[in-house]
Chains A and B, each alone.
Chain A
Amino acid sequence: MIIVKRKPLEEILEMTKDFKKLLILGCDGCASIIQVGGERQARILKLLLEMGQKIKGNGKLKAQAISILRQCDRQIATSSLDPIIAEYDAVVSLSCGVGVQTIADLYKGKLIIPAINTHFLGMHDTKAEKFYEMCLACGDCLLFETGGVCPLTRCAKSLLNGPCGGQASGKCEVGGWQNDCAWVLIYNRLKARNQLDLFGKFRMPRDYRVSGHPRELGGEKENEEGKT
């Protein structure tokens, strides 16, 4: 899931202060699942913005809050937004950076204001109410070799051949020995499965072109197969 967090209200108020008619656009995808950018949060933000601008003396703001199934899907976005978007001066998006950019690309004349900071691809730990980064989308997954623990993401140095000398009692030097050392996690997993040969394997320098920006995948062929 893409882990996001709402921006401070002050920042959103500042970005929206010149607009009188705003569409507050929630996203029912990842942002909604973790209760940051769904319909409810869009409605709350609408109220906060209307109140905030009034208190700040920026005149009367008329906002409407809706949410769509996924802002990152062009088809879903156009079918929901085409009929209504003309009514608004700007859109406040509660989706990740992909959603914001998809909407911005679809409606180039419209200002799309991000109300969300996009953090990482991660996992929700319901008990501790915390989110953990799990994947950098590196384009060359090696989880098979590393016991299902991603060293690129979960090792602070993205080491392919860890652990480094900074681990102590299985904790990482980064952040003051609070977080697990990914390479000790990997070791424990592989050891439990009798796969220490995989641990001892030397991993060659990575080809960083695979994860260089900006990346594209597929081409005409894939589009023809229906993935627009």
Chain B
Amino acid sequence: MRREAHSKLMKQINEGNFVFTGELEPVKTTKLDEVIEGARILKDHVVAINITDNPTAFGYMNALVPSYMIQREAGVEAVYQMTTRDRNRLGLISDVLAAGALGIKNILALTGDHTTVGDTPQAKPVFDLDSATFVYMLRKMMDEGVDLNNNQIEDPPKFSIGIAAAPNADPLEPELLKIKRKVDLGIDFIQTQCVYSAEQAQNFLEAASFLKTPILIGIAPFKSISMMDWMIKFVPGIKVPKEIEEILRKAKKIGGKQAVYEANVEIFGEMLKEIRKTTTAAGIHTMAIGFEWIVPKIIERAGL
């Protein structure tokens, strides 16, 4: 059974369009200019944009406000990311209701990185719910119009619900079984963490095909060589093929920053083309924080 699509993103997916989503990160600031500017850059190339919620447990601006503002100011749909790390179920209910009031159409339900990996490691982690129990609560709120304790909600909200997946998880089976729990609860789409080859995407999509859920494959071009080095060193589960590493390093040596950008367009453009051609991905989730302008170039290079 296909659920009703409550967002443009889900409508496009259901219509069989190959979709693109983007990602923006409100940071430690009271200014919204950059996020709105990023949304304007991405607007004509993606159907919706994720707004991150204190990513890697850094204390940033609340994601709901920029989610609302990019819809209002830039006219592009938001995927409001919500982690269960910083709020208990009361806090989550409040924000979900507020998101409904502000016309948010998509929620990405996440557990969230642990507080100890962030910029305020002394903080008390919450995790009252996890991403699965959060999805359960969202469905109850939307489908039954009640909260976890069956208290009535006036004008229940409507969202399309997404979750994240780790395509390179090792072992993969517990990851898949975990996703299955949430699929059974009722989610609409999945966005994956980044892959660095069409093959990685293909392998995951095949393993996850039993879930029968639209999957957007995550890609994250490298803003710089130092960012790549950092990712390789500190983010286990990220598998950057040697040849990509070498091409980018070489580009940096020969042509500096600009050449790295161009190499990114080449590498990720090709990868996208391949993913589109050879896999069952429902679309691509692009993460190019701070250099969103590269996303249209990559999509163009892929001929999509």
Chain A contacts to B: CB under 8 angstroms: 156-171, 173-175, 177, 183-184, 187, 191, 196, 199-205, 208
Chain A residues closer than 8 Å to B130, beta-carbon distance? 157, 159-162, 164
Given contacts A157-B125, A157-B130, 18 further A-B pairs with CB under 8 A are: A159-B127, A161-B133, A161-B181, A162-B130, A162-B174, A164-B130, A164-B131, A165-B111, A170-B170, A171-B236, A183-B178, A184-B171, A184-B174, A187-B174, A199-B177, A200-B180, A202-B132, A208-B128
> In the assembly, what is the distance between CA of A177 and CA of B130, in Å?
20
CB distance from A21 to the nearest CB of B (A): 40
**Distance A199 CA – B177 CA, assembled complex (angstroms):** 8
Asked if B128 and A167 make an inter-chain contact with CB atoms under 8 angstroms apart, the answer reads: no
Contact of B117 among A174, A183, A196, A203 (CB under 8 A): A174
The CA of A187 and the CA of B129, in the complex, are separated in Å by: 20
Please tell me if B145 contacts chain A, counting CB pairs below 8 Å: no
Q: Say how far B107's CB is from chain A's closest CB, in angstroms.
A: 17
A-B contact count (CB 8 A): 92
Residue of B nearest to A172 (CB): B114
- Chain B, residue nearest A165 (CB): B166
Closest chain-B Cβ to A132's Cβ sits at a distance in Å of: 18
5 A-B pairs with the lowest CB-CB distances in the bound complex, closest first: A168-B236, A161-B132, A187-B174, A168-B237, A205-B133
Contact digits for B135-146, partner A, Cβ 8 Å, 1 yes 0 no: 011000000000
The answer to whether the Cβ of B278 comes within 8 Å of any Cβ in the partner chain is: no
Bound form: Cα–Cα A187–B176 in Å: 12
Proximity string of chain B (176-187) to chain A, C-beta cutoff 8 Å, 1 when within and 0 when not: 011011001100
B5-21 CB contact bits vs A (8 Å, 1 = yes)? 00000000000000000
Query: Quick check: A158 and B127 within 8 Å, CB to CB?
Result: yes
A167 to B: closest C-beta gap in Å: 7
CB closest residue in chain A, given B236: A168
Give the number of chain B interface residues (Cβ < 8 Å). Answer: 36
The distance in angstroms between the C-alpha atoms of A130 and B226, with both chains bound, is 37
Contact with A along B153-196 (1 / 0, CB 8 A): 00000000000111001110111011011001100000001000
Distance between B210 CB and nearest chain A CB, rounded to angstroms: 12
**Cβ B174 vs Cβ A165 within 8 A:** no
Q: How far is the CA of A203 from the CA of B117 in the complex (A)?
A: 26
B132: nearest chain-A partner, CB-CB: A161
B116 in the interface (beta carbon within 8 A): yes
The B273-300 residues at the A interface (CB cut-off 8 A) are: none
Give complex CA distance A163, B131 in Å.
10
Given contacts A205-B136, A205-B137, contact A161 B178 (CB under 8 A): yes
Interface residue B270 (Cβ < 8 Å from any Cβ of A): no
Answer yes or no: B148 CB below 8 A from chain A CBs: yes
Pairwise interchain contact A173-B131, C-beta atoms closer than 8 A? no
**Which of B113, B136, B164, B178 gathers the greatest number of chain A CB atoms within 10 Å?**
B178
Enumerate chain A residues within 8 angstroms of B257, measured Cβ to Cβ.
none
> A169–B130 Cα gap in the complex (Å)?
21
A159–B128 Cα gap in the complex (Å)?
A: 9
Whether B89 sits at the interface, judged by CB under 8 Å, is yes
The 19 sampled A-B contact pairs (Cβ below 8 Å) are A156-B116, A157-B130, A159-B127, A160-B130, A160-B133, A161-B133, A161-B178, A163-B174, A165-B111, A165-B193, A167-B169, A173-B114, A174-B117, A177-B236, A184-B174, A196-B177, A202-B184, A202-B185, A205-B136
- Bound together, the chains give a CA A133 to CA B101 distance in angstroms of 44
Chain B contacts for A202, CB-based, 8 A: 132, 136, 181, 184-185
Indicate which residue in A158, A170, A204, A208 contacts B136 across the interface (CB closer than 8 Å).
A204
Q: Report the minimum CB–CB distance from B183 to chain A (whole Å).
A: 11
Residue pair B89, A205 in contact (C-beta under 8 Å): yes
Which residues in A have their C-beta under 8 angstroms from that of B169?
A: 163, 165, 167-168
- Tell me whether A205 and B177 are in contact (CB under 8 A): no
A169 and B236 form a contact (CB under 8 A): yes
Whether A205 lies near B148 (C-beta < 8 A) is yes
Q: Which residue of B lies closest to A199 (CB)?
A: B177
Q: Which A residues are in CB contact (< 8 Å) with B173? A: 187, 191
| A199/B174 contact (C-beta < 8 A), A160-B130, A161-B132, A161-B133 known | yes
Q: Are B136 and A159 in contact (CB under 8 A)?
A: no
- Given the interface pairs A168-B170, A169-B236, the reply to whether A204 lies near B133 with Cβ below 8 Å is yes
Interface centre among B111, B170, B173 (most CB of A within 10 A): B111
Instruction: Tell me the bound Cα distance from A121 to B85 in angstroms.
Output: 24
Q: Who on chain A is nearest to B116 by CB?
A: A174
In the bound assembly, the distance between CA atoms of A47 and B164 in angstroms comes to: 59
A173 in contact with B117 (CB, 8 Å): yes
